[in-house]
Amino acid sequence: MRCPYCSGDNTQVKDSRPTDENASIRRRRVCPDCGGRFTTFERVQLREITIVKRSGRRVPFDRDKLARSIGVALRKRPVEPERIERLISGIVRQLESMGEAELPSSVIGGLVMEALRGLDAVAYVRFASVYRDFREVADFHEVLGEIASTPEVALPKDDGPLEASAERKH
């Protein structure tokens, strides 16, 4: 496993243990070149799912890609890596249990929004703002309505820049 910090190839496993009810194995790794420490998760891939994007393009479902976009939404938020892993695993299992070979990307987006809403309000707003891209002003108000009861989130005013830019797109 390549070191994410210095790209060295000599990283060593310091510790392995099962997590997530034995559905995955967590490995703590250390890089002897730069001293960087990181964690990897190993798991079984049950089924190949194809995602149909809004453009109609088909791409294989990529758990890492899903994890990255969730990671961006949760950046610097006080949420433990294990909880994030569980959230991702839960989304993947929901996708797999739908039993469909192809799924529209909006299904994943909806599951992520649902999961983040229960986990961290700030991450939820971040993801929602990117995912929904505030395509419609109605959407924007809907998002605001959904988070209005969450005090730690600063809401833009009605004539704020977010809505202004959303309207400009039309």
Q: How far is 31 from 8, CA to CA, in rounded Å? A: 7
Site size for Zn ion (CB under 5 A): 8
| Out of 20, 23, 28, 36, the residue judged to bind Zn ion by CB under 5 A | 36
Q: How far is 131 from 129, CA to CA, in rounded Å? A: 6
- DSSP track, 111-155: HHHHHHHHH-HHHHHHHHHHHTTT-SHHHHHHHHHHHTT-TTSPP
| Out of 31, 49, 84, 95, the residue judged to bind Zn ion by CB under 5 A | 31
Site string (90-129) toward Zn ion, x via CB under 5 A: ----------------------------------------
Q: How far is 21 from 34, CA to CA, in rounded Å? A: 33
Per DSSP, 82 falls in state: H
Between 34 and 155, CB nearer to Zn ion: 34
Using CB under 5 A as the binding rule, whether residue 34 contacts Zn ion is answered as yes
Using CB under 5 A as the binding rule, whether residue 38 contacts Zn ion is answered as no
- Residue 64 CB, nearest approach to Zn ion (Å): 20
Determine phi and psi for 6, rounding to 5 degrees. -120, 0
| Out of 5, 38, 150, 162, the residue judged to bind Zn ion by CB under 5 A | 5
* Binding footprint of Zn ion on the chain (CB under 5 A): 3, 5-6, 8, 31, 33-34, 36
